[in-house]
Amino acid sequence: MPLDQYQLLQLAIKIGAALLVFLFGRWLARRARRILGVTLAKSTLAPSMAHLLILAAYYGILLVSVILALALIGFPIEALLGASLIIVVILGIALQQSISNLAATIVFMLFQPFRLGELVDANGGTVYRGVADKETALTEPGLIVYRFDAPLVFANAAFFTERLEELIVNAGAGLKCVILDAEAISDFDSTAAEALENLDADLERVGVDLWIARANKSLRELLTTTGLMKRLGAEHVYPSVRAAVDAYHAQFGS
């Protein structure tokens, strides 16, 4: 057999083996994702953190499979690892703000240094603070003002939805409006946009309005880009919590 045909046969065998390794890795990644999903669903871990771990396992297995497959074809594994490291560094530099926000979100979910919840009028004044201050705080009938003190991204979108749904259920049938205090939401992605859209649809079905207060410029632009601004109504995006509460009084009464 001529040498060039022999080399072609060897290359074909290597490519076939690499393809099998990649297909096995993809199957293993999907299997791991399924098993982790079932296992973590039974744990006490926050759903958003569980989702993050599942994604990390899935893409980690896929990455290892690709490296092994390319190594079988003949690429030096040291070069592949070096290239992977360079890509990770470049992505880290390009996405440093998003990574920083994600890290902050993970730290928040792990340690929860403060409690998220409604903000309420303090003795009719202009200061809003958490309802944990039972001695001086006065709640507003029919209204929830909810402050989320973190970027709203895929890693914590489920936590955001679950916590707000819990507050809505506890509020009872008299609830008329939910105001999201978005001052601290410095980042907002497509998963968060979908969660907010689904929440608004659920509230709309039971006759409850969803308004937003203190959204920064970038968040307002993202709301417009995703179509949420049109859905919520630009007139229901307020510069301050006080302005939103005043609008609530004007529409629904004190």
Q: Is the pLDDT of residue 105 over 60?
A: no
Domains of the chain, first to last: 3-94 (1.10.287), 117-252 (3.30.750.24)
pLDDT at 121: 43
Name the nearest CA neighbour of 210 among 188, 229, 227, 184.
229
What integer pLDDT is reported at residue 116 of this predicted model?
A: 42
What is the per-residue pLDDT across 207-222, written as a single tens digit (0 to 9) for each? Answer: 999 999 999 888 898 8
**pTM, 2 dp:** 0.54
pLDDT in tens, 161-193: 888 888 888 888 888 999 998 888 888 888 888
Residue 106 · residue 126 · CB < 8 Å: no
| Average pLDDT taken over every residue of the chain | 76
Per-residue pLDDT at 91:
59
Which residues 6+ apart lie within 8 Å of 224 measured at CB? 230
For residue range 128-165, what is the model confidence (pLDDT) as tens digits?
Answer: 555 554 444 446 778 888 888 778 877 677 778 888 88
Q: What is the pLDDT confidence band of residue 117, given thresholds at 50, 70 and 90?
A: very low
Q: What is the pLDDT of residue 213?
A: 93
Residue 5 per-residue DSSP state: H
Task: Provide the pLDDT for residue 107.
Answer: 57
Which residue is associated with the tokens 């669903």?
Answer: 41
Cα separation, 205 vs 53, whole angstroms: 33
Tokens standing for residue 180: 């999201």
- CA-derived radius of gyration, the chain: 25
Would you state the pLDDT for residue 35? Answer: 85
Tokens at 197, concatenated = 């859209």
Give CA 216 to chain center in angstroms: 18
pLDDT grade, residue 123 (50/70/90)?
Answer: very low
What is the pLDDT, as a whole number, of residue 237? 94
**Residue pair 109/55 in contact by the 8 Å Cβ criterion:** no
pLDDT in tens, 33-91: 888 777 776 666 655 566 667 777 888 888 888 888 888 888 777 777 777 777 666 65
The band of 239, judged by pLDDT with boundaries at 50, 70 and 90, is very high
Q: Check residues 101 and 247 and name the one with the higher pLDDT.
A: 247
Residue 236 has pLDDT above 90, yes or no: yes
Confidence at 32, pLDDT banded by 50, 70, 90: confident
Query: Which residues fall within 8 angstroms of residue 2, CB to CB, at 6 or more apart?
Result: none
Three-state secondary structure readout of 83-125: HHHHHHHHHHHHCHHHHHHHHHHHHHHHHCCCCCEEEEEECCC
Task: Give CA–CA dist 237/194, Å, rounded.
Answer: 18
Residue 120's pLDDT is 45
What's the pLDDT at 79?
75
pLDDT for the residue 170: 82
Alpha-carbon torsion angle 207, 208, 212, 218, nearest 10 = -50
More confident residue, 29 or 9: 29
Determine contact, residues 107/101, Cβ cutoff 8 Å: no
For 238-253, give the DSSP string. Answer: ESSHHHHHHHHHHHH-
- What pLDDT, on a 0 to 100 scale, did the predictor assign at position 124? 45
